[in-house]
Amino acid sequence: MSLKDAFDSLLGVHKRTMTISRSTGESASIFVTPSNFFRNTEGPSDTTISGREFVISARTLSKAVFPYPKRGDRLEDPELGSLTISEVREMYDYGGSIIGFRLRTS
């Protein structure tokens, strides 16, 4: 089993179905895995910054014709509502190829 296969199997344990959409009108149904990290940090002047973090497999996005998530894309979830992606971080395997993305929403 390759690292990509193991990564996808691990993400499949807690996956949720969401819809990703872009301002150009493109949208697709994808599997998204919630991360254990939920951002509720305190910023300057006692400002609370809240958001959620998710992990998406690069294979999942390529099947949905979304090669790369972008800041400003929206995730639609039946329970969580509409979430706007505010940060995208690539996740790499040992060879340096992208196997997934860590997304933060606000």
Q: Give me the DSSP letters along 74-89.
A: EEEETTTEEEEEEEEE
Q: Residue 79 — pLDDT band, cuts 50, 70, 90?
A: very high
| pTM metric for this prediction | 0.83
Render pLDDT for 20-78 as a digit per residue (tens, 0 to 9): 999 999 999 999 999 875 555 555 666 656 678 999 999 999 888 888 999 999 999 99
- The pLDDT, as a whole number, for residue 35 is 86
Arithmetic mean of pLDDT, 88-101: 93
Nearest Cα neighbor of 71 from 52, 89, 92 is: 89
* 37 vs 102: which has the higher pLDDT: 102
Cα–Cα distances in angstroms (integers) from residue 21 to residues 29, 31, 35, 52, 69, in the given order: 9, 13, 20, 17, 9
